[in-house]
């Protein structure tokens, strides 16, 4: 029974978070070039600091602030921690990242998704 509830919670969190993560064109372009990528904690990370200008870093910070607010709302609605809400969403974001984008591995490294 607990597994069914957990699975339902994961599905609800992932679906509810989807609209909160639409990224601007600059972020999508940076993802395509592996300058920015999805981290395992549910936030965006800068992969290549040399290629990330201040405007891009500012955009990453803004998106991460929006994500944290969305995770807090999801967590409150579903009785879980912000970290749990972020983790569930991170799994979906990593799995759904298009081929060619870089994603973070559990050891903290980065790989280009095949």
**What tokens does 81 get?**
């921690």
**Would you say residue 18 has pLDDT above 50?**
no
Tens digits of residue pLDDT in 46-82: 999 999 999 999 999 999 999 999 999 999 999 999 9
Q: How many Å separate Cα 105 from the centre of its chain?
A: 13
pLDDT over 70, % of the chain: 81
DSSP, collapsed to helix, strand or coil, labels residue 106 as coil
For residue 23, the model assigns a pLDDT of 73
Which pTM value belongs to this model? 0.80
Question: Domain map of the chain by residue range?
Answer: 2-112
- The rounded distance, in Å, linking the Cα atoms of 68 and 63 is 9
Residue 103 has φ and ψ, to the nearest 5°, of -130, 155
For residue 80, the model assigns a pLDDT of 96
Dihedral, CA of residue 49, residue 52, residue 57 and residue 63, to nearest 10:
-110
What are the Cα distances from residue 114, in Å, to 4, 28, 43, 99, 103?
Answer: 31, 17, 21, 5, 11
For residue 19, the model assigns a pLDDT of 44
Give the least confident one: 3-7, 36-40, 42-46.
3-7
């Amino acid at each position: 029974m607990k597994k069914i509830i957990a699975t339902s919670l994961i599905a609800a969190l992932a679906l509810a978070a989807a609209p909160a993560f639409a990224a601007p064109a600059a972020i999508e372009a940076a993802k395509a070039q592996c300058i920015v990528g999805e981290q395992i904690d549910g936030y965006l990370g800068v992969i290549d600091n040399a290629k990330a200008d201040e405007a891009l870093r500012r955009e990453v910070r803004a998106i991460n602030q929006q994500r944290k607010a969305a995770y807090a709302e999801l967590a409150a609605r579903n009785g879980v921690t912000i970290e749990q809400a972020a983790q569930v969403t991170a799994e979906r974001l990593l799995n759904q990242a298009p081929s060619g984008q870089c994603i973070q591995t559990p050891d903290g490294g980065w790989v280009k998704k095949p």
